[in-house]
């Protein structure tokens, strides 16, 4: 295996997008292997590289990494984005998981069919009442969510906040600390670069992406 970092996933955001974000912030160049058919995915399964027969899969440091949270923790730990001690790592995990809860709800929307509006309403309520107030408070007297330096929790929440704004453009209007946080994050060169057209950041899922994922993973949608 070469020293290159290689990502294996669908041609879309999904659970890989947060990994792309974290690698970009860490300044790590990566390549991607995109599969668009069930046969391509099954070939990967038969290779034995997918421990639990699911993606994301990341080739890195001579290893085949699976399970998105474990992958992100490894990257964060390697590139000094995971706090200075056990207490900070717990706090980072807590805020990162809060962001993941919102992103999981957002990722489910394109596959929700007739339930989409109900799920959209639930997401908006959860974000406004539970999630965003917690982050607003955490950022009231601090530049970062945890400690005195950038962590993977900041990256995850920033990603989540942008995804929320795609759905609800004015949702952050009542959260000035989060707005200021976004401005600081956008000023970080690696993040600014990743936000530019032509980067490896993926757009919101469209009908083609949804159809492809459902066809490849049809056994999960029965």
In this prediction, residue 2 carries a pLDDT of 54
Q: What is the CATH number of the domain that holds 213?
A: 3.40.30.10
What is the rounded average pLDDT for all residues in the chain?
94
Tell whether 207 is covered by a domain: yes
Structure confidence at residue 155 (pLDDT): 98
Q: Give the torsion through C-alpha atoms of 221, 163, 209, 69, to 10 deg.
A: -60
Share of the chain above pLDDT 70, in %: 97
Does 45 lie in the same domain as 101? no
Instruction: Mark whether 90 and 162 lie in a shared domain.
Output: yes
Q: Which residue did the predictor score with more confidence, 51 or 164?
A: 164
Query: CB burial class (10 A; 0-12, 13-18, 19+) of residue 147?
Result: middle
168 and 104 assigned to the same domain: yes
CATH number of the domain that 177 lies in?
A: 1.20.1050.10
On whether both 135 and 159 belong to a single domain, the answer is yes
28 and 68 within one domain: yes
* Residue 213 sits in the same domain as residue 162: no
Using CA of residue 102, residue 104, residue 106, residue 108, what is the dihedral sign? negative
Check whether residue 139 and residue 121 sit in a common domain.
yes
Task: Give the count of domains, the chain.
Answer: 2
Residue 32: what are its φ and ψ, rounded to 5°? -130, 140
pLDDT tens-digit readout, 169-191: 999 999 999 999 999 999 999 99
CA terminus-to-terminus distance, the chain:
36
Looking at the structure, tell me whether residues 97 and 127 fall in a common domain.
Answer: yes
- Do residues 101 and 165 share a domain? yes
Is residue 1 included in any domain, yes or no?
no
pLDDT tens track for 68-83: 999 999 999 999 999 9
Q: Tell the residue number behind the tokens 């993973």, with chain if given.
A: 217
Pair (42, 67) in one structural domain: yes
Are 75 and 144 in the same domain?
no
Domain enclosing residue 62, as ranges: 6-79+195-220
pLDDT digits (tens, 9 = 90+) for 85-96: 999 999 999 999
Q: Write down the pTM of the prediction.
A: 0.94
């Amino acid at each position: 295996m070469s020293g290159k970092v290689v990502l294996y996933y669908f041609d879309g955001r999904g659970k890989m997008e947060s990994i792309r974000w974290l690698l970009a912030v860490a300044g790590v160049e990566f390549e991607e292997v995109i599969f668009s058919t069930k046969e391509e995915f099954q070939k990967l399964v038969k290779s034995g590289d997918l421990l639990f027969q699911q993606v994301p899969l990341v080739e890195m440091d001579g290893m085949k990494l699976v399970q998105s949270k474990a992958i992100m923790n490894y990257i964060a730990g390697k590139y000094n984005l995971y706090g200075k001690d056990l207490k900070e790592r717990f706090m980072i995990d807590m805020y990162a998981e809060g962001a993941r809860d919102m992103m999981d709800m957002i990722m489910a929307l394109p596959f929700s069919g007739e339930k989409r509006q109900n799920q959209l309403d639930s997401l908006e309520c959860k974000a406004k009442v539970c999630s965003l107030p917690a982050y607003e408070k955490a950022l009231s007297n601090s530049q970062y969510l945890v400690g005195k330096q950038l962590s993977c929790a900041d990256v995850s929440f920033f990603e989540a906040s942008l995804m929320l704004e795609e759905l609800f453009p004015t949702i952050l209007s009542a959260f000035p600390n989060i707005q200021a946080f976004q401005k600081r994050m956008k000023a970080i060169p690696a993040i600014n670069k990743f936000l530019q057209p032509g980067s490896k950041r993926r757009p919101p899922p469209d009908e083609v992406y949804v159809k492809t994922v459902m066809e490849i993973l049809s056994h999960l949608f029965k």
